[in-house]
C-alpha cells in the first residue's frame, strides 16, 4: 500500500507536471487544482461556485473527490462543510493528509465510498459536485440516482464530464454520451448542459507537454505512475474526435 501511495502522491506533487499545466492553462489555471488528477480550469470552478452558491451554512458532497482539491476549496474559501467520497483509498489518504493541518480541516470529511452507493443519508446535502469523474462510472444511472437521493429538494448538482462516443482505452472508460437524458431519467431538471471552453487545445497542449518533458517527469514520478501518464499522453490524442468535454448543472425539484 505504501508503494502504491507513493506512486499516486508523486504525480500529484511533481513540479514538472505543475509547470506543464501552468504553461498550457495560463490565466485559466485553477491554483487550487491538482494536476494531473484533474483537468479543471478556473472557469470550471467558477461555474460551479456561481451555480451552487456555497456558504458557511452549506453542506456539500464532492462525488469522486480525488485528493480533495475541490472539497478544500469549498471549505477554505466559503466555510462550507464538505463530505468528499472516492472509491480510491489512496486518494482519500492523500486528501486527509493534505487537509489535516489546515484551518478549515474541521469542515471536511473524506471517506472511501462508491459514488453509486455512498451510504449517506437521504435529502442531506445543499449541493453536490463532481469534476471529470462520471465518465468512469460503469452504471451512470445508479450514480445519478444516488446523487438525487442524497440531495435536498431544490438542491443542485454541478460538474464536468466527458462524452465518449466510443470506449476510451486511454481512460479505461466505457462509451457514453447522452448525459442530459440520463440526468432527466434520474429525476433532475437540467438547467445547464454545454461544452466546456477550448477543452481540446488545452488537453492537446497538456499531452504534448507530458511527452516533451518525459525525462523530467521520470525523475519526479514513481515508475508505475510515470508509465501510466506516458501511455495516456500517447493514446489519448487519437480518441479526441469521438470525445467532448462538458459541464452541467442540474436541479432536484422541490
Question: Of 46, 34, 26, nearest to 86 (Cα)?
Answer: 34
Distance between CA atoms of 77 and 111, rounded to whole angstroms? 21
Residue 157 has pLDDT above 90, yes or no: yes
* Rounded percentage of the chain residues whose pLDDT exceeds 70: 100
pLDDT in tens, 13-71: 999 999 999 999 999 999 888 888 889 999 999 999 999 999 999 999 999 999 999 99
pLDDT score at 26: 97
Instruction: Please check the confidence at residue 1 and state whether its pLDDT lies above 80.
Output: no
Q: What is the mean pLDDT of residues 152-162?
A: 98
Q: What is the pLDDT of residue 38?
A: 83
The domains located in the chain, with CATH, are 2-251 (3.40.50.150)
pLDDT digits (tens, 9 = 90+) for 57-111: 999 999 999 999 999 999 999 999 999 999 999 999 999 999 999 999 999 999 9
pLDDT for 66 equals 94
Identify the pLDDT of residue 141.
97
Question: Over the chain, what is the mean pLDDT?
Answer: 96
Q: For the residues 220-249, what does the mean pLDDT come to?
A: 97
pTM for this entry: 0.95
pLDDT of residue 164: 98
Distance CA 74, CA 60 (A): 8
User: What number is the average pLDDT over the span 209-218?
Assistant: 98
H runs (alpha helix) in the chain: 2-12, 15-25, 42-52, 69-78, 89-99, 140-150, 179-185, 199-212, 214-220, 223-235
Q: How confident is the model at residue 2 (pLDDT cuts 50, 70, 90)?
A: confident
Amino acid at each position: 500500500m505504501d508503494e502504491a501511495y507513493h506512486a499516486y502522491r508523486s504525480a500529484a506533487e511533481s513540479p514538472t507536471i505543475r509547470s506543464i499545466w501552468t504553461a498550457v492553462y495560463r490565466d485559466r489555471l485553477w491554483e487550487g487544482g491538482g494536476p494531473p488528477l484533474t483537468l479543471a480550469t478556473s472557469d470550471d470552478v467558477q461555474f460551479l461556485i456561481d451555480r451552487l452558491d456555497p456558504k458557511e451554512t452549506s453542506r456539500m458532497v464532492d462525488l469522486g473527490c480525488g485528493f480533495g482539491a475541490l472539497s478544500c476549496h469549498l471549505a477554505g474559501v466559503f466555510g462550507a462543510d464538505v463530505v468528499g467520497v472516492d472509491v480510491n483509498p489512496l486518494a482519500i489518504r492523500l486528501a486527509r493528509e493534505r487537509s489535516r493541518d489546515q484551518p478549515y480541516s474541521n469542515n471536511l470529511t473524506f471517506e472511501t465510498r462508491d459514488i453509486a452507493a455512498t451510504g449517506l443519508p437521504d435529502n442531506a446535502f445543499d449541493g453536490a459536485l463532481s469534476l471529470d469523474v462520471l465518465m468512469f462510472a460503469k452504471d451512470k444511472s445508479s450514480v445519478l440516482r444516488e446523487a438525487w437521493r442524497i440531495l435536498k429538494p431544490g438542491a443542485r448538482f454541478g460538474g464536468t464530464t466527458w462524452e465518449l462516443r466510443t470506449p476510451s482505452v486511454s481512460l479505461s472508460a466505457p462509451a457514453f454520451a447522452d448525459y442530459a437524458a440520463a440526468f432527466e431519467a434520474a429525476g433532475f431538471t437540467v438547467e445547464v448542459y454545454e461544452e466546456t471552453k477550448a477543452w481540446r487545445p488545452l488537453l492537446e497542449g497538456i499531452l504534448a507537454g507530458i511527452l516533451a518533458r518525459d525525462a523530467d517527469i521520470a525523475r519526479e514520478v514513481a515508475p508505475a505512475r510515470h508509465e501510466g501518464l506516458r501511455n495516456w499522453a500517447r493514446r489519448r490524442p487519437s480518441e479526441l474526435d469521438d470525445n467532448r468535454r462538458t459541464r452541467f448543472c442540474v436541479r432536484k425539484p422541490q
